[in-house]
Amino acid sequence: MTTHPIAGDELMAYLDGELTVERAAGVAAHLEHCRECQGLAADLQRVSRRLLEWQIEESSSVLQHWLAEALQAVEEPKTDTRRKGSYLLVRPWTWAASTAAVLILVGVMVWQTGSRESERLVIPHELAQSDGAEPARLAQSMRAMLMESATSGAVGGVIGNVPQAAPAPPPEEAVQTGRPLIVRTAEMSITTREFDRTRPEVTRIVDAHDGYIAQLSMNSPSDHGRSLSATLRVPAGQLDRVFSELRKLGRIQSESQAGEEVTQQYIDLSARLKNARNTEERLTEILRQRTGKLSDVLAVEEQIDRTRGEIERMNAELKNLSNRITLATIQLQVSEECRQALRVDHSSTLGRIRNAAVEGFRGVIEGAIAILIFLLAYGPGLLILAVLVLFPGRALWKVVQQRTRPEQQS
């Protein structure tokens, strides 16, 4: 080492891409003309290659089969107990099928001589027996590695098959049976004459189908009929029945249904959650077993905190998604039909009568005033005219009468 300008581990760090740019340039220049270093570099690369080959060989065929079975044995019983609650009552045949599945799995587990050992598959399986607590940790890190490589596809094709063999962890029966996961939503708009009956009726329908009212608001404006708008959540399987019962509430104005497939989203989220949990487990294990500088401990703890935050977030997301899958959402609009017309007519009739009365009264007064004004304006003129017409008329009348009287006497 003293005579050679480049140390062995420095050369290795160069091959691993771990040197600073300046150091890497120096090593690269040296490597070009140093045969000894070229030999060492080739050795190091060969060792890495052989380890990878070994990893792929180990996980092939039989071992991979075991791995699939072991993962199934570890995961399935848990998921089974979790989903019993919701499906047990609804579908008896599902219960029977899952019981059979549990029995088979128990059989597999017994045959596997315990799940702890089956978790240590692949490489650490053999190593595990060599010393005490260490292998368990190693097994865990290897398992986490398998999960990671399975999602990223980093360590070759053979390992890439793992996720298909391993069932998705969620409580959903559908994922295991390969049925698609669908988020169902529906909208309905109704008009009714019996608005007072509507609200208790909606509550009854929702309760009868194990659903709940997520949101409800009522409006009763003075110049319109009352209206109700509600968001109902009912089990996805009951959606059609709930819908047909809601139709009886009144006259349908519009209705629509929609479904969004989220199988892939669900599986992705589950896989990411599982990876994060593995990471957390591994970090916790490391924290428990190692002692070191305070700053290091704090750094790992910080990392654990971050991972936990991530897990919480994904958990919430997954729960929300499951919720949307198991419970369909109905947007219900109910509006009232007749009351509005009656009330408006009633008030306007009175008004119209009152208005007509006022109009009539005002008309009479206006008329009287108009006549008075007419008399005042034209009266004197007419009086003079009358006098002018009346006196000559009267004189003429007398003259005519005097002429006819002597004719009668004679």
Partner 1 sequence: MHSGDAARTLSDDLIGFRNLVRDALQKLGATEREILMLREYEVLSYSEIAEILRLPVNTVRSRLFRARMALKEHLEPATQVNRAER
Positions that interact with partner 1 (CB under 8 A) = 1, 4, 8-9, 12-13, 16, 18, 36, 39-40, 43-44, 46-48, 50-52, 54-55, 57-58, 61-63, 66, 113, 123, 125-127, 130-131, 134, 137-138, 141-142, 144-145, 148-149, 154-155, 282-283, 286, 290-293, 296-297, 299-300, 303
**Alpha carbon separation from 355 to 112, 276, 358, 370 (Å, rounded):** 96, 78, 5, 22
Return the number of the residue (47 or 106) whose C-beta is nearest partner 1: 47
Q: Report the alpha-carbon distance of residue 268 to residue 262 in Å, rounded.
A: 10
**Min. distance of Cβ 27 from partner 1 in angstroms?**
13
**Min. distance of Cβ 312 from partner 1 in angstroms?**
22
The pair of structure tokens assigned to 119 is 């978790």
C-alpha torsion 124→129→134→140, nearest 10: 30
Q: Report the alpha-carbon distance of residue 225 to residue 195 in Å, rounded.
A: 9
Strands 327-336 and 182-192: parallel
Q: What is the 3-state secondary structure (H, E, C) of 307-369?
A: HHHHHHHHHHHHHHHHHHHHEEEEEEEEEECCHHHHHHHHHHHHHHHHHHHHHHHHHHHHHHH
Residue with tokens 């003079």: 384
Task: List the alpha helices (DSSP H) in 133-172.
Answer: 134-152, 156-160, 162-165
**Residues 250, 145: contact at Cβ < 8 Å?**
no
**Min. distance of Cβ 101 from partner 1 in angstroms?**
23
Q: Report the alpha-carbon distance of residue 166 to residue 173 in Å, rounded.
A: 15
Q: What is the 3-state secondary structure (H, E, C) of 173-236?
A: HHHHHCCCCEEEEEEEEEEECCHHHHHHHHHHHHHHCCCEEEEEEEECCCCCCCEEEEEEEEEH
In 10-64, which ranges are E strands? none
**Min. distance of Cβ 54 from partner 1 in angstroms?**
4
Q: Strand pairing partners for 261?
A: 182
The pair of structure tokens assigned to 369 is 């005033």
Strands 182-192 and 251-261: antiparallel
Closest-CA residue to 98 (of 86, 73, 115, 81): 81
Return the number of the residue (98 or 278) whose C-beta is nearest partner 1: 278
Q: Report the alpha-carbon distance of residue 327 to residue 234 in Å, rounded.
A: 5
